Structure 1
Amino acid sequence: MSLDNYHKLEKIGEGAHNPLLVATDVHPLTCAISSPFPSTLEKSLLKGTYGVVYKAKDINTGGIVALKKIRLEAEDEGVPSTSIREISLLKELSKDDNIVKLLDIVHSEAKLYLVFEFLDMDLKKYMDSLGEKDGLGPDMVKKFSYQLIKGIYFCHGHRILHRDLKPQNLLINKGGDLKIADFGLARAFGIPLRTYTHEVVTLWYRAPEVLLGSRHYSTAIDMWSVGCIVAEMATRQPLFPGDSEIDEIFRIFRVLGTPDEDVWPGVRSLPDYKPTFPQWSPINLGDVVKGLDADGMDLVAQTLVFDPAHRISAKRALRHPYFDTVNLAAA
């Protein structure tokens, strides 16, 4: 399909490399390549990691979609590797109900557009829209937590790490269902685990092994982020809102205690571990994370285990007693 099939409505946001647009889908979504986009840009909606996103309308069906615009650096360089990675991952993951669907790919001149289903709001904006005394409520926290972990389980089952989970990357549709978006940093992982870059995950949701410089990490980094997000949904406050890497590390240590070799075998050998770190004792997590029942607190505690090898997996988390009473119709 060509860009002529979409009419840009407004700019939703802008990422590190490109803007995000919202557009209207005009034809059944295929994969044609064609002429420039005839439209008038109104405003940006969201910020993503690798592109500008626009809201657009499908001229043929009247349906609303999201267009992620990728600028190609140079003709001889072609599509950026980060975009190719995201496209290939999204094609693989689009079958899951809790992952945002990639509907189409359009290549026009020096631009690449990824056409996604349009969702109304991200989790952060959703929480911010609630009154000061209002919260998501225990049923909604449980439902969103389940849908988040279910989507991550699907990713991990397809050997993919998301690596940038945060409330801004979790979208909520009109039916009150949560879907995981923005796979710009995602990586397929193999056995043995690869060496990865240090630049993963927004600071507040970053696992301690990443903060301490480990370049060998696994699905456990996503589960740490899940725990931080579940806690934030319950309290409406970020759990570890550090303003630098060292501040982030110390905020974690002040709550969970400073890890030693007994708690986390191998921690002293991590590149950024310092023997001079202050020695804090753990405090009761329930004093920090309020609004969860005993099962919910146990689930969060199992996601916030220092040793990645003992952190709960998405598969085990879905079977946790906390979800025995999950109501997927909660709204």
Structure 2
Amino acid sequence: MESAFTKYTPTEPQIPPMCITLTKFLTTRIQETYNVCKRENPTNIKNCLTNPFEARHNYGLDNERNELIVYRHDIIGTFNSFEGKEFSMSPYTISRYEVIEKLGQGTFGQVFKCYDHINNRFCALKILKNKKAYLRQGLLECATLSMLNTYFDSNNDRIVKMYDHFMYCDHLCISFELLNQNLYQYAKERRHIGLELNDIQKKLIQLLEAVECCSKAGIIHCDVKPENILMTENGELKLIDLGSSCFENYTLYSYIQSRHYRAPEVVFNNRYNNAIDMWSVGCIIAELFLGVPLFPADSEFDLIVRFVEMLGMPSDEIIKNGKIADRYFKLVKRTNKYRLKESFEFEWENNIKLPPHKNYLYYSSLHDVIMKNPMKLSLNTKENNFIIRECLLDLLQRILVYDPKERLTPNQALNHPFFTFKNINDITPKDFYEWTPPEREFPFKVYGHSVSADPEDMLSDAFENKIIINKKLTNSEYYNVFFTLLQAGHVANITIDNPFEYGSITPKQFIRVFNHQFSKPSIPKVSTDVPRSFVAQIYSVTDSFNSVPIKKEENPLTIKHCNQSKIIIHRMTDNK
């Protein structure tokens, strides 16, 4: 009698990856399976840290906002991810992060306090939304942090330390060192007793050092604000959240920075460089002394109104160079000078209703605000209060300047008498009135969009054969391609679908590091094993399919000894 059991033989097409990982999904992720199937369980709802918690996308793993639905004590990492350890910063080890509590939420996704069971430490785990825009911006954040942590802040003094990053069920996850309260919370807690002047000086020096690290690396943070300045257990400041950052040689977006700390060149939609971060620093300096934001605007027009009240009118040249300055200013033909439009004019022309203008300070000009407004300082700093105010005013007048060319750099600000005097009560007006800043370390330049390498160079440097990659890459495929290019010294343009369509946007500072090292820096590496989500299909002239074996020691996207016309990387998973 013939046996009913027959030997399994592979069929064409191959079994889809979702079927291949089904057993893994039902074992290592059994808790998540239960959570999806038994949503009505009150215990599940109580322990769910994501809101809303109803499953809508990604096979029941994501909510309507494309956020990963996370429960307390969930295990997240390459240990149980669909993608596997190949798609991680350390492809030869697994990671296991146990979720403890939720730390925050934003437009990018969620942040959780987790326990790293592999390295036995607590950390902050940032889980980005399952959308390509957030994934790609997150990849750029990984690239900038890798370079900052490795070279420009190698002692891990002023920039948050990135421990790990990996793909988890189509979400990019980034693990950071766990820090304490932010600068806003710190100042708010001490508002009733006032801040110590020496403490303010120390923290502002650390903030300027952090911004200087970014500046030397050719990185624009684009979102310097008190909430993004966190403190260590020792009270040291560290700059976090480079999720909005870009490179000085290739700025990505025009609408950046939180409104209270937004620079004029951003408001006027001009080209910008890292001078916008120094404007934000100036706003933070004033806020620490005043207890409220210097420009607490409710709209873009309100922000410009406060600029003019506080600093006076910008020059005609700045207004003329502004791409949308005529939206807010009007040229008076009789005098050939610009004036700020009245609120009713702006409302009528744009068919909108502005929120009412509120005054949070007793005075409106920068001089009066600093010299006359009550300050949130402790009593023992009142001894030389007038001189301190004059010195602070001199510093702010050199930072809060419309023209970014005239704005102090981080290094110049650190040399201002406000920071160089150990005891500021010993300072005299002559010390800061006659002070001249040191020369810039680098000439002032606004690049706009400067490409460092064309697509052909990117291909030849990263891959041994020229290939054409399908534009519709999955999240994990894009992750792999991005870091393969990064290992070769190229940063892909994240604003376009095909990373080989435009060219490399690598800043010259990164290139200098690569050339100086003569070898690839210790940045996240792609596994040398073939990722299971990649299938190389080789098409000859007759379009007949030819399978080509890939050796284990070769790059997963490098195929030798082939004379094919093109290689296309196809996604293996079904459309969601």
TM-score higher than 0.5: yes
Partner of 1:114: 174
Pair 1:127–1:289, CA change in 2 (3 A): same
The structure that is strand-richer by fraction is: 1
User: Within 5 Å, which residues of 2 pair with 1:1-331?
Assistant: 31-32=90-91, 39=98, 43-48=101-106, 50-73=108-131, 80-95=135-150, 96=153, 97-130=157-190, 132-190=191-249, 194=250, 196-214=252-270, 216-261=271-316, 265-273=317-325, 274-275=329-330, 276-277=339-340, 284=367, 285-286=369-370, 287=372, 290=375, 293-325=389-421
Pair 1:189–1:59, CA change in 2 (3 A): same
Q: Secondary structure at the match of 1:45?
A: strand
Pair 1:83–1:140, CA change in 2 (3 A): same
Q: Which has the larger radius of gyration?
A: 2
Give 1:175 deviation, angstroms.
Answer: 0.5
1:10-29, Cα deviation, whole Å (9 max, x unpaired): 96999x975899999999x9
Q: CA separation in 2, counterparts of 1:59 and 1:151?
A: 30
1:196-252, Cα deviation, whole Å (9 max, x unpaired): 5221000000001111221x1111111000000111111221110000000011112
Q: CA separation in 2, counterparts of 1:272 and 1:123?
A: 33
1:244-283, Cα deviation, whole Å (9 max, x unpaired): 000011112111112223xxx332331222224159x955
Give 1:150 deviation, angstroms.
Answer: 0.4
1:267-320, Cα deviation, whole Å (9 max, x unpaired): 2331222224159x9551524584654333322221101111101111211211
1:98-131, Cα deviation, whole Å (9 max, x unpaired): 110101112223222111000011111222222x
Of residues 288-297 and 139-148 in structure 1, the stretch that sits farther from structure 2 once superposed is: 288-297
1:145-165, Cα deviation, whole Å (9 max, x unpaired): 111110111101000000111
Q: CA separation in 2, counterparts of 1:10 and 1:324?
A: 50
Q: CA separation in 2, counterparts of 1:201 and 1:155?
A: 16
Pair 1:106–1:13, CA change in 2 (3 A): farther
Pair 1:10–1:46, CA change in 2 (3 A): farther
Q: CA separation in 1, counterparts of 2:110 and 2:311?
A: 38
User: Which residue identity is paired with 1:202?
Assistant: S
Of residues 310-319 and 59-68 in structure 1, the stretch that sits farther from structure 2 once superposed is: 59-68
Q: CA separation in 2, counterparts of 1:153 and 1:60?
A: 34
Unaligned stretches of 5+ residues in structure 2: 1-27, 29-46, 53-64, 80-87, 331-338, 343-363, 378-387, 424-576
TM-score, normalised to structure 1, is: 0.80
Q: CA separation in 1, counterparts of 2:401 and 2:366?
A: 14
User: Which residue identity is paired with 1:307?
Assistant: D
User: Which residue identity is paired with 2:418?
Assistant: Y
Q: CA separation in 2, counterparts of 1:49 and 1:123?
A: 21
Pair 1:289–1:152, CA change in 2 (3 A): farther
Q: Secondary structure at the match of 1:239?
A: coil
Q: Secondary structure at the match of 2:256?
A: coil
Q: CA separation in 2, counterparts of 1:325 and 1:13?
A: 50
Give 1:176 deviation, angstroms.
Answer: 0.5
Q: CA separation in 1, counterparts of 2:68 and 2:285?
A: 29
In the alignment, is the contact (CA less than 8 A) between 1:34 and 1:107 conserved in 2?
no
- Between the aligned residues of both structures, percent identity stands at 30
Pair 1:178–1:195, CA change in 2 (3 A): closer
Q: CA separation in 2, counterparts of 1:271 and 1:227?
A: 24
Pair 1:283–1:168, CA change in 2 (3 A): closer
Q: CA separation in 1, counterparts of 2:281 and 2:173?
A: 29
For these two proteins, the number of residue pairs brought into alignment is: 305
Pair 1:78–1:133, CA change in 2 (3 A): closer
1:153-194, Cα deviation, whole Å (9 max, x unpaired): 11010000001111111101110111000011100122xxx4
Q: Secondary structure at the match of 2:163?
A: strand
Unaligned stretches of 5+ residues in structure 1: none
Pair 1:222–1:36, CA change in 2 (3 A): closer
Q: CA separation in 2, counterparts of 1:322 and 1:115?
A: 37
TM-score, normalised to structure 2, is: 0.48
